[in-house]
Structures are given as structure tokens and as C-alpha cells.
Structure 1
């Protein structure tokens, strides 16, 4: 009997080893990049909150466009991207499902004009350097619309976002559209330049999401639920002013700048509390809803032939894991 008992224990040990060594699921791989609402994940990474939550997550650092390319190529399970870029990635490569609204841009995305131009209306007949089909192209069109101008009233010069500062400095264009840190670099590079319009003028035009592969979400939903829970732990931490000095040190270290240099970037990003995010998940037509905003971007993408047909935007958004936290 003792022999049989020991044999059973040996089998149990082998089974445990097999499950923990050979059968262990791979870490959830998330691509993130240099945007304050996504750099904020660094707080959870530094503090070991994923381990404490019992979920294995690997964050991989990329340039923004490269992060979407990595997702489209199947190298990661999820990517941090805007609601509009999620549509582009889905229509032209690989669809995803947004499960977290991290933030909305609150001034970091800018239309920056050269000295002598102090308003959007003065851009009429001028050249504007912007990366066509990306969020700052959309911001430019919104700026023109809000100021009684048509898209044809300016000449678009297709410019990679990371080159916008040097193009403005060269004098090849009269204004540029870019997000931080590129927009801030443009203001620094050209003395007397002015941000004539920013995302703060159109809150909700750009939402920043964690977008997940649909199959991964379906098969590993419990793990993604833990990721969502950790995110709101980060949010609670950031909303406590007593943590701000430490937070800025962590965020700034990730992008290799000084905390005082990073602070304006952080303030140009409105990180949503759980209750605020739940409000943004409510369906409505306006920019105050992620659904309304995404529908607006979808129309922009079709109009400017980023892709051919309107998308089923509800397939790209899933508030269930966020809503489950409130319950």
C-alpha cells in the first residue's frame, strides 16, 4: 500500500511539473510606445502589480507605427493605439478589440504654425506637414472645420510624424500636425512658433486604447480581466497627488528625459478614472463617447480613402471587462 501511495505521489508531482513547465501559457505580449497614457503601464511593471494580480504579462517597447506593425504581424497579443488607428490596422491588416480606454488627448496633439501665424484661419492657402491618414490629419481637418475652412483650403504635405519638427524648421511648410513629443519639439525648434489648435479644443477626438487580438481575448479572458484591473490600480495611483513626484520619475525614466520635462506631456493627457471611462463607454453620437468618436474617425477614413467601406465599429470595442469592475 505504501508503494502504491508513493507511486501516486510521484504521478501527482509529474503532473504538476508538466502543468507548470510544459503546459504553462505564454505571457500576454503587449506592445506599447511613447505616449503618457501608455507609458503609465510602466508604474505597474516597476511595482510588480501584474505578478501580484497573478497574470504573466510582457510589455514590448516600440516606436508607435512599429508597434501596430508588430501587432498586425502577430508578434504581440495586444497593442496600445488610438481608436482611429485601431480601425486602420483592422481594415488593412488585423482587427482588434479595445478593452480599455486609457485616456483622451488633452492638448498633446497640436497644429503648430510658424512665426507670424497665430490662428487656424491664417492657414488658408498655406502648406501643412502632417502624416496623412493618422490622428493629426484628422485633428487638422477638425481644426479647419471649426474655423470655417475646407480641407482644400490648405495644401497637405505628407510628412512622417517624427520628421515634422525638422520640416517646420526647414521652412518647407507653414505649419505641422503632430503629437508629443514631436509637437513639443516643433515648438522648441522654431522660435516664435505657435500651437494654433490642439486636441484640448476637441476633447474626445482622439481616445487611446488597449486593443487586443479577438482570439486571445476569447481564450484568455480571465487574464485580460486581470490586466484591466491592474490598469485601474495604476489610475488610482496617478490620481493621488502624493504619488506624482514618484510617478513622473518612473514615466520620465522610460523615455529618458527629466521628470520636469515630462510633466507637460503628462498634463496634456487626460487619464480617465473608472467612472469617467464608464461614461465614455456609453453609446452616443458625439465625441464624449468612444463609440461616437470612433464613428467620426471611421467616416474620415472612408472619405479620405484610408480604406473603402465603413466598418462595424462595435466589433472593435468591448466595455465588458471595465464594466465588470464596477459590479
Structure 2
């Protein structure tokens, strides 16, 4: 009778939702829109929703490497880097938009360079093929300049503060915290173009492997639901101090030090995200933005074969919340 009893008990547990589910592993890294997951973790909202999730902390590039190697089920990436990861390693499906960069990505210029137009004939330290390269080209175009009007000095993003301070270049392109470090490293330097000048040029999403999404769709739906609870909490001004305290602690900063990074990231509410999921050209749509970065990646030979944005994006779980 004992085996029979165990079988019945297992069935009851499964029906009641108490049976052990597969743990979803998510790689995240140092970006405000991704550190925001900490709010849901610390407040126990994933447990309340009944989903077993393990968030694993990485530096950004290693987080993508872990995803490609199959060590995690999902990873937080920009829409452009998702194309690169898919074209050269392992495809993924973006199931929710965390945010778009709203000033954290910057072209920082040395003293004497007051506008993008002043960069004509000058050197810019940029990591070629990365998103700041695209930001630079967008800034040049918006100011009537051509790519050949500047000389690009290929520079790893984490080295841009030192390169600017050394005066080897006249400007650099970097995202936070590197862009902020560059401003501190060279007194008198200033941002002359940022992602706030081209909102939607960089979207940050949660990307899941197709296999895990198909196998665990109900659990991923719960993760998306928790995210929009986090987003609503963050966007409520009454919660700002608590949110800053949680986010800043994850990267060992004081809340007042972290606040500028937070403000340079536009975390989307559910209604705002639904608008960004509408298929359209231009940066106001995640589809248009991803199409834009695909063209950039092809032009600068980041990968050889064109990628289809629609294969990397799935708004279904977000749209289900609206219903």
C-alpha cells in the first residue's frame, strides 16, 4: 500500500501546486532596469506568485556567455546584443521590455568640445560594433555630420574613462557607470549626446531560450507578472527611497550616488510597454529599434547574416496581462 499512497500523495501535491517545479535560472547584471529585479526578490513576490526563480549575478558579457553555454535559462540583454548572441551563439526570445536607456549611455567630450558638431575632425574613443558606436553615429547624423567626419579609436568601454582623462581622444562613448566615471576623470568634460536624445535606440529586455519558454510558459508568465508589479512599485514616487536603497545596495553604492543612474533609465509600466510592443518602424517600437540595430550590425560586420527581429521578440505574455 505504501507505493500506492505515495503516488496518490504526489498527485495531490501536483494538483495543489505544491509539487516541486523546475527552477528558472536568470542571469542579470549591473544595469538599473535589471537590478530592479532585486525588489521582487527581496519582497518575496516570486514566492507569492508561486514561481521558483533563481537570479544569478554576472558581469554583463559573462552573463551572455553563461546563457550561450546553457548555464541559465534566460539573460537580461539589450535588443542589439540579443541579435549578436543569436547570430553567433544561441538565439533567444525577448518576453518583456524592462526599460529603454534614457541618458545613461553617453558621448562624453573633453573641455572645449561643446556640441556634437565640434567633434568634426576629432578623435572619439568607442568600442567598435557595440551600442555606443551606434549612439555616436546617431548623434553625428542628427547634427548633420557623417561617420567619416570623426576618427574612431577602438577602445574597450571599461577603459574609456582613462583614455579620455589621458587626452588621447577628444570624446568617448560609454554607458553607466563608465560614462559617469569618465565625467569624473576629466574635470570640465560634459555629455554632448546621450540616449535621452534618441529614446528607444537601446531597449533592455529579458530574453529566454525557446526551449525553456515552451516548456515553462506558465512560470515565465508569472515572472512577467511580477516584473510589472516591480515596475509599478518603482514608478510610484512614494516608493523611490525604498527602491533606491534596494538597487544601490546591490552594487555597494549609497542611494544618493545611485540616483543619477536610476534616472537615466526609463522603466516602462505595463501600458507603456504595450505601446512599445506595437510593430512599427522607428525607435518608438522595439521592433523598429531592433531593425535599426540589425542594419548597424550588418554594416559594421558584427555578424554576416541579417537577423529577423520578429524571431527575437514575443509580446504574448505581456499582452496577456492587459487582457
TM-score bracket, shorter-length normalisation = over 0.9
**d(CA) in 1 for partners of 2:53 and 2:127?**
32
Structure 2 counterpart of 1:91: 87
Structure 1, residues 57-97: CA drift from partner, whole Å, max 9, x if none?
A: 11111111111111111111111111111101110111110
Note closer, same or farther for the CA distance 1:299–1:225 as it changes in structure 2 (3 Å cut).
same
Structure 1 counterpart of 2:232: 236
Instruction: Say whether residues 1:274 and 2:273 are aligned partners.
Output: no
Structure 1 residue 309: deviation in Å? 2.2
Structure 1 residue 310: deviation in Å? 1.5
**d(CA) in 1 for partners of 2:290 and 2:128?**
18
Structure 2 counterpart of 1:170: 166
Greater shift in the superposed pair: 121-130 or 188-197:
121-130
Structure 1 counterpart of 2:142: 146
Structure 1 residue 137: deviation in Å? 0.8
**d(CA) in 2 for partners of 1:18 and 1:290?**
38
Counterpart pick for 2:178 among 176, 179, 182: 182
Secondary structure of the 2:224 match is: helix
Structure 2 counterpart of 1:193: 189
**d(CA) in 1 for partners of 2:59 and 2:9?**
44
TM-score normalised by structure 1 residue count: 0.94
Note closer, same or farther for the CA distance 1:152–1:229 as it changes in structure 2 (3 Å cut).
same
**d(CA) in 2 for partners of 1:10 and 1:76?**
32
Counterpart pick for 2:114 among 118, 122, 127: 118
Secondary structure of the 1:94 match is: coil
Counterpart pick for 2:308 among 282, 292, 312: 312
Instruction: Say whether residues 1:205 and 2:201 are aligned partners.
Output: yes
Structure 1 counterpart of 2:45: 49
Unmatched 5+ stretches in structure 1: none
Secondary structure of the 1:98 match is: strand
Structure 1 residue 7: deviation in Å? 6.7
Structure 1 residue 308: deviation in Å? 1.2
Structure 2 counterpart of 1:29: 25
**d(CA) in 2 for partners of 1:81 and 1:47?**
24
**d(CA) in 2 for partners of 1:250 and 1:209?**
20
Note closer, same or farther for the CA distance 1:242–1:152 as it changes in structure 2 (3 Å cut).
same
Secondary structure of the 2:136 match is: helix
Counterpart pick for 2:155 among 154, 159, 165: 159
Secondary structure of the 1:305 match is: coil
Note closer, same or farther for the CA distance 1:224–1:17 as it changes in structure 2 (3 Å cut).
closer
**d(CA) in 1 for partners of 2:275 and 2:34?**
20
TM-score normalised by structure 2 residue count: 0.95
Structure 1, residues 224-254: CA drift from partner, whole Å, max 9, x if none?
A: 0000000000011111111111110000000
Structure 1 counterpart of 2:295: 299
Structure 1 residue 25: deviation in Å? 4.2
Secondary structure of the 2:84 match is: helix
Structure 1 residue 12: deviation in Å? 3.0
**d(CA) in 2 for partners of 1:265 and 1:121?**
26
Structure 1, residues 264-307: CA drift from partner, whole Å, max 9, x if none?
A: 11011111110000000001111100000000000000011111
Counterpart pick for 1:107 among 86, 97, 103: 103
